[in-house]
Structure 1
Amino acid sequence: MSDEQKTDAQAAPERTPTFAEMTAQKVRERFPEEVVDASEFRGDWTITVRKGRIREVLTFLRDDPALAYNFLVDVTAVDYVGYMQSDPPARFGVIYNLCSYRQTGHRGRVRVRALVPEREAVVASAAPVWKGALWPEREVYDMFGIRFEGHPDLRRLLMPVNFEDYPLRKDYPLRGKGERDVIAPEDPGFVNIQDVIQLRDSSHA
């Protein structure tokens, strides 16, 4: 066997990028100034972006025919205080878990993280892209105090309307601030009619 043949035989075969890798590359190409990082951990890809054009990024992921991330699994958040150093500086990350489903079935999933600073804890709502963002964005607002611009009904979801803090922030005491002593027992007969109407309408959308 010649040296040239040996070299060809020893050369590693070119690896085909995974669907998530292709997703990260296409987002980088489309939004080069917005992507801060794209990384993989145990098979899951996270694309970290600046918050300014997050709705455009999400719309691109949904509408690009090669990607077709047409299912929003969840919207949640993480408080990185004292943990993550980022550029631009950000205390919070708003996380969007997406799946791509087509006629062929499940194609892939990806996680998009928008960096949100504490002093400007506002990010564009994903509800115009996926109606499924309505309820989880309310929960994120309730638990972290992150406001979603363009959300049609941003109210507390789990905590009382007169609650002043955000329980899932890292600086919130584990045992609370004495709220158990001042919040009256929940009225089992109380129903917020706005929630009932919204749930009814979203289930038929």
Structure 2
Amino acid sequence: MTESPASLDEEIESGEEDLPEDDVERLHGSAVVVNNNQTVVHTGKAEYHDLIQSLNDDGYVVCVDLCGVDYLGNDTRSLPVTVTAERFELVVNLLDVQASRRLRVRVQLSEAAPLVATITDIHPGAEAMEREANDMFGLEFEGHPDPTPILLPDDWHGHPLRKDYSMGRIPVQFKAVDGR
């Protein structure tokens, strides 16, 4: 694939809309929208690895970024009607250097099973980014070659970028002030 699908250029540029399911643009079977002039592909975790491989074959050979997002208590994101919101989201930004194109892939991951296939076999540079997402959010990458912590000590408990992570506050005892 050297060009974006023709209808993507005609997609609504104001953001992701709640389009009827049969009106949602598709790329390799996954829902596609244009958000702030960037093409965003929404896929399921079962299709994620195959989609990344297909996009790599299409020229998106650089994985610029891979990160997790925790939407606990914040459900304001806009998703196509074909996508069910989950607590966690995996966001992967890909680049096609030859055609000067950028693409964002978003995958919804449940709190109960934040597991998705690794893409290190396609994008070896994603190895450290997947380890960081595991350290910070608890997202797990099945088949990862080295799932050891990259940012945190081996004996660390919890995932510091989760919104429900306790910051370990130290209570401060204040003295009473005359009658207060």
Change (3 A) 1:43 1:19: farther
Q: Which residue of the partner structure matches residue 28 of structure 1?
A: 26
Report the counterpart of residue 107 of structure 1 in structure 2.
100
Unpaired runs of 5+ residues, structure 2, are 12-24, 171-180
Distance in 2 between residues matched to 1:178 and 1:141, nearest whole Å: 24
Q: Is the 8 A contact 2:8 2:33 kept in 1?
A: no
SS in 1 for 2:96: strand
Q: Is the 8 A contact 1:98 1:110 kept in 2?
A: yes
The residue type paired with residue 132 of structure 2 is E
RMSD, aligned α-carbons? 2.7
Instruction: Pick from 70, 74, 93 the counterpart of residue 97 of structure 1.
Output: 93
Give TM-score scaled by structure 1 length.
0.65
Counterpart of 1:182 in structure 2 is: none
Secondary structure of 1:21's aligned partner: helix
Q: CA deviation at 1:41?
A: 2.5
CA contact (8 A) 2:67 2:133 kept: yes
2:93, 2:60 → 1: CA distance? 10
Which residue does the alignment assign to 1:149? 142
Percent identical across equivalent pairs?
31
Summarize the Cα distance change of 1:19–1:128 in structure 2 as closer, same or farther, 3 Å threshold: farther
Which deviates further from its counterpart, 68-77 or 80-89? 80-89
2:129 to 136, 141, 158: 136
Instruction: Give me the whole-angstrom Cα distance separating, in 1, the residues matched to 2:113 and 2:164.
Output: 17
What's 2:118 paired with? 125
Query: Residue type matched to 2:8 in 1?
Result: E
Equivalent position to 1:69, from 52, 57, 60: 60
Q: Is the CA contact 2:27–2:41 (under 8 Å) kept in the aligned structure 1?
A: no
- Asked whether the equivalents of residues 50 and 115 of structure 1 are also in contact (C-alpha less than 8 Å), the reply is yes
Alignment partner, residue 19 of structure 2: none
> Would the aligned equivalents of 1:44 and 1:110 in 2 still touch at CA under 8 Å?
yes
More helix by share: 1
Equivalent pairs, count: 149
| Deviation readout 1:80-118 (Å, 9 max, x if unpaired) | 11223774341111111000012xxx5210100111101
